[in-house]
Structure 1
Amino acid sequence: MPDTLSADVVVIGSGICGALAARKLAQAGASVLMLEAGPRVSRAQLVHNFRRSARKSDLVAAYPYSPLAPHPDYQPADNGYLVQAGPYPYKPEYLRVVGGTSWHWAAQAWRLMPNDFRLASLYGVGRDWPIGYDDLEPHYFEAETIMGVSGPIDNGSPRTRPFPMDPVEPSWLEQRFRDRLAPEFHMITNTTARNSRSYDGRPACCGNNNCMPICPIDAQYHGGLAAESAERSGVRLIPQAVVYQLEHDAAGRIVAARYYDWDKVSHRVTAKSFVLAANAIETPKLLFLSASGKYPDGLANRSGTLGRHLMDHPSSAITFEVDEPLWPGRGPVSPCSIQQFRDGDFRADHAGFRVDLSNGSRVASIAADLIKAGVSGTDLDARIRHRAAREVSIKNVLEQLPDPDNRVTLSDRKDALGLPTPRLSYSFDDYVHRGMAAAKQVYTRIAERMGGTNIRFSPDGQYSNNQHITGTLSMGHDPATSVTDAVGRAHDHANLWMVGTGVMPTVATCNSTLTAVALALRSVDAMLKSA
């Protein structure tokens, strides 16, 4: 076996949260080793892969896959990495590569609203956070400055300082929706980690319209950039290092991590502190794999809540044709949204939600639909032009309450290294269904305001997800009901920290990445104070 490696801090996972936590630790003088199960990737190769791919809408098609560090893949068929226990399939599309899943995100960087931290106290549902908005506000700004966030003043969350950048200029589609829906609906440009001007050596958005699965010019921030900045700050990054076990001493302190390289050779790494940043599915998987005689149910699981309260943002949608040509497909794919349904007394009864307008080009899907229907020749050309200029899609980003039965456990299936794969149990409650019904009423009214025809709704009860895997490592004051404390330290292990969306007790109504990064930066402050 190779010699044991050592560092002050070992960070497991090189996604945006792990990489920025590692970067901050290294800048404070710590020696940091970051382990990543997947391979290194480059933007140039990913863009090449995307342009050659026949599946342009597939978020993972451009990214390398290895059975030694598998990730979920559903096209052309489900690879079965995630075992579905039901009753509803949950199919996240996360990556295991250097930089993690934010390589293929839409870069939306909303803050939570103050009331999101007090859902149980205010509305009698869900859980309260062990911290409030004011506790996180300085770290929100720290994250926004690193990532380069642009946004409008009226963004729904209080600020002590302005955004680093003004919003990206609105497209004609956005302008017309905003003007025609007012004053009934207030549509604003999205807050995003996307440059509206040159920032941090990266160019402004030039409207390529393939933000997902890859921005071809790095106008939007992502975990690959975070990993590069971590290495420039002195972090040592080892890719293709699949961590399969954490070791602990008699007092419960973590003393080492074991990983396989891609030659299936085992290595051992020691450190003073360990940070888990794999994601909200892979992190509980590792903690379950690390079960011992002292901790038979897995590490950090005295409460029995490890892996529980799995949440995402379920979505429904409406597609219709507007009564004027608006030509979606120029600029960011998710440019603007309606925020007024994110919070209110109604949350005691049904889920809050945000309404997002899609700006993705409709040409390919419309052409395929018409060809399948037998349309050809000049008629095909004319009908593609007509529909592609007018067809739009709107979806919601809807909150889901923490449910202990929605969970991650280990399956009986093994991967190529002989490690059990994750097993997911997932369902939706009436709180979600009632929220979807409220959203459908909003969709109907929007379509009416826009002169909508050829209206199609998502089938009732069939919801997509948004890849915002949240809640399986929930923070809280009480060790009997939570995995980590208010700064992300495991209740059961004094030198084990967790960063990422998993520590969020509730999912609220906005994309989770910015909040997760802010929490990670806050955790590093606590680590440095406790050192």
Structure 2
Amino acid sequence: MADTTPNSADYVIIGSGIIGAMLAAKLAKTGASVLMLEAGPNIPRGEIVARFRNSPRRSDWMSPYPSVDSAPHPIYRPEDNHHLVQAGPYPYKAEYMRMVGGTSWHWAAHAWRNVPGDFKIKSLYGVGVDWPFDYDELEPYYQEAEAIMGVGGSTATGSPRSQPFPMGEVAIPYAMQRVRDRLAGTFDVVNNTVARNSRTFDGRPPCCGNNSCQPICPIDAQYHGGIAVQQALAVGVKMTYLANVFQLEHDAQGRIVAANYYDPDKNVHRVAGKTFIVAANGIESPRLLLLSKSEKFKQGIANDNDMVGRHLMDHPSTSLTFDADEDVWLGRGPQSPVSINAMRDGDFRGEYSPYRLDFTNISRVDGATNSLLKAGIYGKEFAEKLRHASAREMNVKSVLEVLPDPERRIDLADEKDAMGLQKPRAHYSIDDYTFKGHKRAQKDFAKIAQLMGGTNLRYTKDDDFANNQHICGTLSMGTDSAVSVCDEFGRAWNHANLYFASTGVLPTSSTCNSTLNGIAVALRTGAHLIAENGGAAMLPRSNTLATWKRLNPLWKPAA
């Protein structure tokens, strides 16, 4: 059952993922009362680690995180549980978790910043939309988030900084050092920017190379939503879990006055508050708003303009798997340590999608074993082929931008879940802009394989795009209330005391994992709320871009 906690607070935050929890801690430090409502269970880290170690499906990153009937989330293996209904034309098989700490329990800890051009793609390249503010406006909040999480990485990525990284780079594994050496002069291979300890930090140990970052770091060397929740509780935030919010209640003026939730026995509970912040992911947040229909708001909360759930974006990926001409032995160190960033920005964005290229360092033993057994290979041949695949198989994938399109969206399906709530439904597609970026990335794939002496090249099919669980756009912020859901601070256009803290508010997807962007935007929202309520002034605008250009005169985006 849910914890016994207050039934009102100054700030009521719906969702306890990494973004909501970090915002909750910031607000609580001002002395305000903050209550988080989490639909899913509270599972100790040790139990998650045990589930992973005992799982018969080691390559299935969702196996330690089963869906519960009172707060279901999408599961696709070994069978699709059909929580996220597919409306097509292209499947959008997003995986996320509804539990205390949210989906970042099993993230790769990538903490990339946007590059400055990402904020102005409409002005610069004539595609997508501009953000309601620019890079310099967000830079202090990037820095704030990085200092909390302990982020380290390469500075050669096109994202200017006002201060050094708070953390040094994690040691590069041998396999990735060989990639860097052999691609030098053609591709600049850099350490990924990650919220992963390279030294003891905040009471947590440095990375020791378990190679199970996804689904779980067994020693908490990388930051995640579970840690964010612990930090929030330590500064006075209260939390109720197993509290599945199904309705936001409003008054005659449209102000939100309460959040109503089901406990697992479907008893209804009501929580009042002064300010409400929806901090679930980019699928469950619009779902809640659409479920909250009333006589006054017939299309749901914050949805008078029919924009809630629209502009669904992720980062589609295709990849190349090949055999190198030397033993590299993937599987020691982090699973995703290095990447190529040359195609993140440039004038080509007017024609096709930018992208990053990310190298996999996941052990090949499990996958190769399953493939060989499925093919009926045993004995000496099995041992020889397993050794070859484990030592030489490599993989590189693209991380492609998707432009906002109102026809890509989350809405409500007719089907209902075990709690009697309509399931979310995804309308998704891959357009020519992203497809052209994919075809351009394939040229880089071929060159990488050539430089690594690659043989047995296996490209994913042109119609086989994987998504990366970077759910953006469904609560888009902007300056025009006709085509966005909230303003630049995440405040709903129709509801003076309703805010959003989610990757759903990001108006474009860029080429980087959405988590750090979502956190930085939420911390900026927190500064705004604190200032509005008589707290400290907002952080000043950074002049980082000008400073960085002066210190890095040779860097330029790809033409």
TM-score, length basis structure 2: 0.94
* Letter in structure 2 aligned against 1:314: P
Consecutive unaligned residues in structure 1, runs of 5 or more: none
- What corresponds to 2:42 in structure 1? 40
Distance in 1 (alpha carbons) for counterparts of 2:271 and 2:6 = 6
- What corresponds to 2:481 in structure 1? 479
**By how many angstroms is 1:398 displaced?**
0.5
Q: Is the 8 A contact 2:118 2:510 kept in 1?
A: yes
State, as a whole percentage, how many aligned pairs show the same letter: 57
Aligned pairs for 1:260-279 (under 5 A) are 260-279=262-281
**By how many angstroms is 1:3 displaced?**
11
**By how many angstroms is 1:275 displaced?**
0.5
Distance in 1 (alpha carbons) for counterparts of 2:515 and 2:495 = 25
Partner of 1:285, secondary structure, is helix
Partner of 2:320, secondary structure, is strand
- What corresponds to 1:421 in structure 2? 423
Partner of 1:432, secondary structure, is helix
**By how many angstroms is 1:150 displaced?**
1.1
Q: 1:393 aligns with which of 395, 398, 405?
A: 395
- What corresponds to 1:497 in structure 2? 499
**By how many angstroms is 1:438 displaced?**
0.3
Displacement over 4 Å in runs of 4+: none
Distance in 2 (alpha carbons) for counterparts of 1:262 and 1:452 = 53
Q: Is the 8 A contact 1:488 1:499 kept in 2?
A: yes
Question: Which deviates further from its counterpart, 287-296 or 10-19?
Answer: 287-296
- What corresponds to 2:258 in structure 1? 256
Question: Which deviates further from its counterpart, 376-385 or 185-194?
Answer: 376-385
* Letter in structure 2 aligned against 1:347: R
Q: 2:524 aligns with which of 508, 519, 522?
A: 522
- What corresponds to 1:127 in structure 2? 129
Q: Is the 8 A contact 1:18 1:499 kept in 2?
A: yes
Consecutive unaligned residues in structure 2, runs of 5 or more: 534-559
Partner of 2:529, secondary structure, is helix
Q: Is the 8 A contact 2:409 2:474 kept in 1?
A: yes
Q: Is the 8 A contact 1:152 1:191 kept in 2?
A: yes
Deviation string for 1:162-187 (max 9, x for gaps)? 00111101111111111111111110
Distance in 2 (alpha carbons) for counterparts of 1:138 and 1:10 = 25
Q: 1:511 to 1:270 in 2, by over 3 A?
A: same
TM-score, length basis structure 1: 0.99
* Letter in structure 2 aligned against 1:176: R
Deviation string for 1:310-368 (max 9, x for gaps)? 00000000000000000000000001000001111111000000000000000111122
- What corresponds to 2:313 in structure 1? 311
Partner of 2:9, secondary structure, is strand
Q: Is the 8 A contact 1:302 1:479 kept in 2?
A: no
* Letter in structure 1 aligned against 2:268: S
Distance in 1 (alpha carbons) for counterparts of 2:434 and 2:325 = 32
Q: Is the 8 A contact 2:58 2:366 kept in 1?
A: no
* Letter in structure 2 aligned against 1:435: G
- What corresponds to 1:143 in structure 2? 145
Q: Is the 8 A contact 1:104 1:213 kept in 2?
A: yes
Aligned pairs for 1:212-223 (under 5 A) are 212-223=214-225
- What corresponds to 1:162 in structure 2? 164
Q: 2:111 aligns with which of 101, 109, 112?
A: 109
- What corresponds to 2:192 in structure 1? 190
Aligned pairs for 1:185-334 (under 5 A) are 185-334=187-336
Distance in 2 (alpha carbons) for counterparts of 1:152 and 1:351 = 23
Aligned pairs for 1:19-30 (under 5 A) are 19-30=21-32
Distance in 1 (alpha carbons) for counterparts of 2:63 and 2:106 = 11
Q: 1:347 aligns with which of 346, 349, 356?
A: 349
- What corresponds to 1:97 in structure 2? 99
CA RMSD of aligned residues (A): 1.1
**By how many angstroms is 1:370 displaced?**
2.1
Distance in 1 (alpha carbons) for counterparts of 2:410 and 2:61 = 23
Q: Is the 8 A contact 1:258 1:266 kept in 2?
A: yes
Distance in 2 (alpha carbons) for counterparts of 1:232 and 1:185 = 45
